């Protein structure tokens, strides 16, 4: 066990974060296209990658604690503290991982926020559509007669099935 193993785990985490970013972009494309048929599948894929990240984080934490003991620093150090205590070239490599994590995390947060906004606006549109089903729509026959007035209670409803 050592810094090489920690670096290997950090590379794996970076790959998983990039995969999460890709899956969030896929989810956003599904949301933006209105093809909600695939939304549950896209969300499951995001959750699957999140589970993999959690498992890798546990492995990383254990490995970092072992390295912290070797470097004679407190257990559970931040990546920055570990980089400061590690000999070169490991310190520089760990700082590179830290910078990459900060960038990926910011991108993931921005994309997750955008997806949340798309979901809430879609839910709001669906709610408004469903509430609008109680009010009669004014439609016209081929002869130009108002169906809502002449039908005596029967009314046409238009519902976007994509919602």
Same domain, 141 and 155: yes
Tell me how many domains the chain contains: 2
Same domain, 78 and 95: yes
Tell me the sheet residues that pair with 140: 146
Chain centroid to Cα 48, Å, comes to 11
Q: Would you state the pLDDT for residue 149?
A: 53
Identify the H or E element spanning 109.
helix 90-132
Same domain, 144 and 127: no
Helix (H, G, I), strand (E, B) or coil at 158: coil
Q: Would you state the pLDDT for residue 86?
A: 95
Same domain, 89 and 156: no
Helix (H, G, I), strand (E, B) or coil at 53: helix
Q: Would you state the pLDDT for residue 131?
A: 60
* Spatial distance between the Cα atoms of 51 and 104, rounded to a whole number of angstroms: 17
Contact 119, 112 (CB under 8 A): no
Q: Would you state the pLDDT for residue 138?
A: 64
- Which residues constitute the domain of residue 142? 136-163
Same domain, 82 and 155: no
- Return the closest-CA partner of residue 85 out of 14, 94, 1: 94
Q: Would you state the pLDDT for residue 50?
A: 96
Helix (H, G, I), strand (E, B) or coil at 140: strand
Same domain, 32 and 85: yes
* Spatial distance between the Cα atoms of 85 and 83, rounded to a whole number of angstroms: 5
Same domain, 83 and 142: no
Mean pLDDT by 10 residues, the chain (163 residues): 92 97 94 85 94 97 95 93 94 96 96 88 58 63 66 54 56
Q: Would you state the pLDDT for residue 35?
A: 80
Length of the chain: 163
């Amino acid at each position: 066990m050592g810094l090489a193993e920690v670096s290997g785990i950090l590379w794996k985490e970076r790959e998983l974060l990039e995969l999460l970013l890709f899956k969030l972009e896929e989810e956003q494309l599904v949301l933006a296209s209105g093809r909600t048929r695939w939304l549950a599948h896209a969300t499951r894929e995001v959750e699957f990658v999140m589970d993999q990240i959690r498992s890798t984080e546990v492995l990383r934490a254990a490995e970092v604690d072992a390295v912290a003991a070797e470097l004679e620093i407190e257990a559970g150090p931040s990546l920055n503290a570990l980089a400061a205590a590690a000999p070169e070239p490991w310190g520089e490599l760990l700082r590179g991982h830290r910078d990459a994590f900060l960038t990926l995390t910011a991108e993931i947060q921005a994309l997750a926020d955008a997806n949340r906004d798309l979901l809430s606006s879609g839910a709001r549109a669906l709610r408004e559509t469903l509430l609008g089903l109680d009010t009669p729509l004014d439609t016209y026959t081929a002869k130009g007669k108002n169906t809502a007035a002449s039908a005596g209670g029967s009314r046409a409803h238009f519902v976007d099935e994509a919602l």
